[in-house]
Structure 1
Amino acid sequence: MAKITYIEHNGTKHEIEVANGLTVMEGARDNNIPGIEADCGGACACSTCHVYIDDTWVDKLPAKDAMEEDMLDFAWEPDATKSRLTCQLKVSDDLNGLIVNLPEKQI
């Protein structure tokens, strides 16, 4: 299980324990975190689970694959370094302490 902090665009923090094997998106969805819409349900077919990874975590995560890179082109104000789709981030003990910042909106 990993403790993940989701920070809304307005600064509101939600610290949630997410079970290993789920995705960061599922952790947000299952805990009603505002700002993660997850319209495609985790199929990497939209960008409505887009977040900005905290600077301290950017280099600790697995690399984006081509499909995630393509979908991020549709996200709200994507950042080449920090933007990730939470449906593509599988939770493990290695993600304990992860901090994600939600964009102003999802599109």
Structure 2
Amino acid sequence: MTTPLLGQMMDVPLTVSSLLAHASRHFGTTEIVSKRIEGDVHRYTYRDCEKRAKQLAQALIRLGVESGERIGTLTWNGYRHLEAYYGTTGFGAVCHTVNP
């Protein structure tokens, strides 16, 4: 009997949600800086982003969105767009981004 060949790079699946979890775990206090359309600068951390993306995912699930369904987003390229991207794809929905 042979032993299975285990990958040498990763021991977890490479999913969108695991990317943000990795950033939060290893670089949680690193700032994400974006300029808002209102003109000011918004700053928060990867840990904050993960928390808000999870909140969005839970809200979508409560609204009845299921894995595999398509979610369209219309946001400027900033922190809200980042949260929408990770919040929708993190639980298996398909994020269709429309950047104005």
TM-score by length of 2: 0.30
**Structure with more contact order per residue of length (Cα contacts < 8 Å, sep ≥ 6):** 1
Greater percentage in helix: 2
